[in-house]
């Protein structure tokens, strides 16, 4: 089977773009809040599967760089994950 130049370029672009398909939402990331932190990529994938997290969570975790890195929390995976400080209310008032 012969590939045309355009087909070859499209396949190469798709393989490069796949690196950037990770898409987190608050709902997806919240499935990892109770994960056993600190954890490696494989431990997080195992946790997501065992806990019944949506397939998108597992796919996002599979796209993480696998350099043996240990993640300390959701913020290490998704830096934009909102923390308690991101909400504008004074707990002392309530």
Kindly report, residue by residue over 38-82, the tens digit of the pLDDT: 999 999 999 999 999 999 999 999 999 878 889 999 999 988 888
- From CA 87, how far away is CA 36, in angstroms rounded? 25
pLDDT of residue 80: 83
pLDDT of residue 1: 43
Please tell me which residue, 92 or 28, carries the higher pLDDT value: 28
The two three-digit tokens of residue 78, written as one number: 């998704």
Q: β-strand 39-40 against 70-71: which pairing, if any?
A: antiparallel
pLDDT of residue 3: 45
Residue 52 neighbours by CB under 8 Å, 6+ apart:
none
- What pTM, to 2 d.p., does this model score? 0.67
């Amino acid at each position: 089977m012969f590939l045309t130049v355009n087909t070859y370029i499209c396949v190469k672009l798709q393989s490069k773009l796949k690196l950037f398909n990770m898409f987190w939402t608050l709902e997806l990331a919240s499935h990892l809040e109770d994960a056993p932190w600190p954890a490696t990529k494989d431990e997080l994938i195992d946790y997501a599967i065992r806990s019944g997290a949506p397939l998108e969570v597992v796919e996002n975790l599979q796209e993480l760089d696998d350099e043996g890195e240990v993640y300390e929390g959701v913020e290490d995976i998704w830096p934009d994950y909102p923390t308690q400080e991101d909400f504008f209310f004074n707990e002392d008032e309530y």
